[in-house]
Amino acid sequence: MFFQGKLIVTSHSSPSSSSSRPFHYPQPGRGLYCGKVSLDGLARRFGTPLYVYSGDQIAERLSLFQRAFEGREHLVCYAVKANSALAILKLLADRGAGFDIVSGGELERVLAVAPEAAGRVVFSGAGKTAAEIDLALNANIIEFNVESEVELALLAARARKLKRKARFALRVNPDVFADTHPYISTGLREHKFGIDIRKALGIYKGAGGNRWLEAHGVSVHIGSQIRSAQPFGAAVKRVEKLVGQLKREGIELKSVDAGGGLGIDYHSGAFDAAAKVAEYAAAIEKSLAGFEGRLLIEPGRFLVAQAGALVAKVLAVKRNGKKTFVITDAAMNDLIRPALYQAHHDIEPVKPRPGKARVVDVVGPICESGDFFAHDRAMKPLEPGDLVAILDAGAYGMAQSSNYNTRLRPAEVLVEGGKARLIRRRETMADLLAPEITLP
Same structural domain, 391 and 359:
yes
Q: Are residues 44 and 88 in the same domain?
A: no
What does pTM read for this prediction?
0.92
77 is catalytic: no
Q: Which of 7, 289, 367, 439 is catalytic?
A: 367
How confident is the prediction for the chain on average, in pLDDT? 92
Residue 64 in any domain: the answer is no
CATH of the domain at 34: 2.40.37.10
Query: Are both 131 and 186 inside the same structural domain?
Result: yes
Q: How confident is the model over 181-185, as a mean pLDDT?
A: 43
| Structural domain ending residue among the three candidates 250, 266, 300 | 300
Strands 74-79 and 294-297: parallel
Expressed as residue numbers, the domain containing 422 is: 2-54+307-433
Choose the final residue of a domain: 267, 300, 333: 300
pLDDT band at 206 (very low <50, low <70, confident <90, very high): very high
Residues 322 and 296 in one domain: no
Out of 265, 300, 335, pick the residue that ends a domain: 300
The Cα 137–Cα 147 span in angstroms is 17
Same domain, 14 and 112: no
Residues 197 and 215 both lie in one domain: yes
Residue 339 CB coordination number (10 Å): 19
Residue 373: the pLDDT is: 98
Do 253 and 218 touch, CB atoms closer than 8 A?
A: yes
Closest alpha carbon to 169 in 213, 132, 118: 213
Domain count, the chain: 2
Q: Is residue 60 in a domain?
A: no
12 has pLDDT over 60:
no
User: Does residue 38 sit in the same domain as residue 126?
Assistant: no
| Residues 216 and 325 both lie in one domain | no
Do 271 and 240 share a domain, yes or no? yes
| Backbone φ, ψ for residue 74 (5° rounding) | -155, 165
Write out the DSSP string of 139-205: HT-SEEEE-SHHHHHHHHHHHHHHT-PEEEEEEEE------S-GGGB--STTSSSSEEGGGHHHHHH
- pLDDT confidence band for 2 (50 / 70 / 90): very low
Same domain, yes or no, for 284 and 346? no
pLDDT band at 185, cuts 50/70/90? very low
Judge if 401 and 284 occupy the same domain. no
Q: H or E stretch including 99?
A: strand 98-101
Q: How confident is the model at residue 268 (pLDDT cuts 50, 70, 90)?
A: confident
Instruction: State the greatest distance between any 2 C-alpha atoms of the chain, in Å, as a whole number.
Output: 74
Residue 322 to residues 3, 152, 318, 342, 357: CA-CA distances in angstroms? Answer: 20, 58, 11, 22, 16
Please tell me the predicted confidence (pLDDT) of residue 186. Answer: 44
Q: Burial letters for 157-192: b for 16+ Cβ neighbours within 10 Å, e otherwise?
A: ebbeeeeebbbbbbbbbbbbebebeeebbbbbeeee
Three-state SS for 283? helix
CB 250 within 8 A of CB 215: no
**The domain that contains 99 carries what CATH number?**
3.20.20.10
Is 59 contained in some domain? no
Q: What is the pLDDT of residues 85-129, one digit of tens each?
A: 999 999 999 999 999 999 999 999 999 999 999 999 999 999 999
Structure confidence at residue 191 as a pLDDT band (50, 70, 90): low
Q: Same domain for 323 and 429? A: yes
Q: Answer whether residue 438 is part of any domain.
A: no
Any domain includes 38: yes
